[in-house]
A and B are shown apart, each in its own frame.
Chain A
Amino acid sequence: MASLDDLKKRITSVKSTQKITKAMKMVAAAKLKRAQDSAEKGRPYSEKMNNIILNLSSGISDKEASPKLLSGSGKEQVHLCVVLTSDRGLCGGFNANIIKKAKSYFAKLNKEGRELKIITVGSKGNDQLKRVYGNKIIENISFKNSKNANYFDAEKVGKIVIEKFEKEEFDICTIFYNQFKNVITQIPQAQQIIPLNTKDDDQNNSEDNYEFEPDEDEILSNLLPKNISTQIFKAMLENSASEQGARMSAMDNATRNAGEMVDKLTIEYNRSRQAAITKELIEIISGAESL
């Protein structure tokens, strides 16, 4: 059995850990509020962008001649996967969930004999993927220095992706991120951004007759690269909200666990103190009796 002193030391150390996790939880909660706000504020932009593109693409009569970003390169051989993770740890299963989703997708591609290329955004994803898929990672981007997700970072990633597409380095691009549902639930998502998936919105009405200036093709070819950045930005916003949410609940758990541990240790401490006192009393009493 540990001595009284040892127990006391352990209690203090667990208590200070609890203080740290509690503080981290508070910080995450404050950041979560902000991240959630900006995720919500960012939504109209990507929604509008999507609407316009849907309107445009339904207006295009000649599917063959449409921009490649929309229709794809006609092949499915080389896949580019952009895995968005956080730069910091201590956020529960946040990164692990994305990686798990990505890895199962990679395994599927492998089985089908497709070629795989990976871009990681955020250092945690890179750390976890480079062990197994190190030779597939062609680019690792990290925005450690920017405090919040901002559009210019997203644009940088978007530009890299588009550049590689134009050089025909890949055929299909998928991004992996966590969608923020609520504080305890984040859903890992795989979203295909090149070629753009327009099939799922068939209810789109064709009654809108737009006038285009300049013509559809030119607008589309201008709009599509922007849409890539917008989608990545959306993913980044969702991700940062998810990260803070995951961290908050992870730290909440940690604080609670620390509390339980303190309780347990305190009971043990009191018991052994009591035992020591009883022992001493017995010694004194038996000493007095023998006199």
Chain B
Amino acid sequence: MSNEFKIEIVNPEKSFLSKEDVNEVVVPAFEGEMGILKDHISIISFLKPGIITIQAKSGEEKYYVEDGIIEFKNNTLSILTSYILNLKDIEKNKLLELLKNAEEESSKPEISDQLKYLADQKVETLKSIN
């Protein structure tokens, strides 16, 4: 029996990605990285800024997300996110811009702890890509 399951990534504008031959997905869940394999228990969780890694038959793909909700059910993983980029075609300039924005955000004085945590996560992830 194959160990493959289905993944769907949707953002508000369109259906971003849909694949049927995924072996493993690692998502940056709010309470830590989480690997999902086939026949995982039904789960709902949400994401913090980070990298989604998709191990598929057709190769490995990495995406940068800023937020999102995941739902896994009946071997279908749905990821809803408002901002997603494929690491492969991300441009250096864009990356630096995002990094600058994130740093600005995290250095704001009136920001709440949770938002600061998220912004710091963003900075960290973006730096690791660089």
Give me the interface of A with B, judged by CB distance under 8 Å: 38, 41-42, 44-46, 48-49, 51-52, 55-56, 150-151, 154-155, 208-214, 219, 222-223, 226, 230, 233
Complex interface: chain A residues within 8 A of B43 (CB): 210-213
A52 touches B44 (CB 8 A): yes
Interface contact B80-A45, CB-CB below 8 Å: yes
Q: Is B53 an interface residue (CB 8 A)?
A: no
**Interface locus among B10-18, B92-100, B102-110:** B10-18
- Please report which residues of chain B, range 23-59, place their CB below 8 angstroms from some CB of chain A when the two chains form the complex: 29-31, 34, 41-46
Cβ of A183 to closest chain B Cβ, rounded Å: 22
Cβ-based interface call for B127 (8 A): no
Complex partner residue of A213 from B10, B31, B78, CB under 8 angstroms: B31
Return A135 CB to nearest CB of chain B, in Å.
Answer: 32
Residues of B near A230 (CB, < 8 A) are 12
Q: How far, in Å, is B107 (CB) from chain A's closest CB? A: 21
Known A52-B69, A209-B42, A210-B42: A155·B13 in contact at CB below 8 Å: no
Given A48-B71, A48-B80, CB of A233 within 8 Å of CB of B12: yes
A48 touches B14 (CB 8 A): no
CB of B82 closer than 8 Å to a CB of A? yes
Residues in chain B near residue A151, CB distance under 8 A: 11-13, 82
Residues of A within 8 A of B44 (CB): 52, 55-56, 210-213, 219
Q: Smallest distance from the beta carbon of B113 to chain A beta carbons, Å?
A: 14
Other 4 A-B pairs with CB < 8 A, given A45-B80, A219-B44: A44-B15, A52-B44, A219-B45, A223-B46
* A211 to B43 alpha-carbon distance, docked (Å): 4
Contact B42 A48 (CB under 8 A): no
- CB pair B10–A44 under 8 Å, yes or no, is yes
Measured between beta carbons, the chain B residues less than 8 angstroms from A212 are: 43-45
Among residues of A, the one whose C-beta sits closest to the C-beta of B71 is A52
Name B's A-contacting residues (CB within 8 A).
Answer: 8, 10-15, 29-31, 34, 41-46, 69, 71, 73, 78, 80, 82
Q: Which residues of A contact B71 (CB under 8 A)?
A: 48, 51-52
A38 touches which of B14, B34, B45, B73 (Cβ 8 Å)? B14
Most chain A CB neighbours (cut-off 10 Å) among B29, B42, B43, B80: B80
Would you call A213 and B29 a contact (CB within 8 A)?
A: yes
Which of B14, B34, B41 contacts A42, CB < 8 Å?
B14
CB atoms of A208 and B73 under 8 A apart: yes
CB distance from B76 to the nearest CB of A (A): 11
B29 touching A41, Cβ below 8 Å: no
B78 touches A42 (CB 8 A): no
- A226: B residues at CB distance < 8 A: 69, 82
Which of B8, B12, B29, B82 has most A Cβ within 10 Å? B12
A38 to B13, CA, bound (A): 6
Most buried by B among A48, A211, A213: A213
Task: Check A48–B41 contact: CB distance below 8 A.
Answer: no
In Å, the complex CA distance between A209 and B31 comes to 20
* Distance of A190 from chain B, by nearest CB (Å): 22
Given contacts A208-B42, A210-B42, A219-B44, contact A41 B13 (CB under 8 A): yes
Report the bound CA distance from A214 to B29 in whole Å.
9
Q: Cα distance A137–B99 when bound, in Å?
A: 38
Bound complex: CA of A49 vs CA of B67, how far in Å? 14
What are the 3 closest A-B residue pairs judged by CB atoms, nearest first?
A: A41-B14, A151-B12, A213-B45
Alpha-carbon distance between A46 and B69 when the two chains are bound, in angstroms: 12
**Contacts A52-B69, A208-B73, A212-B44 given: A42-B12 contact, CB under 8 Å?**
yes
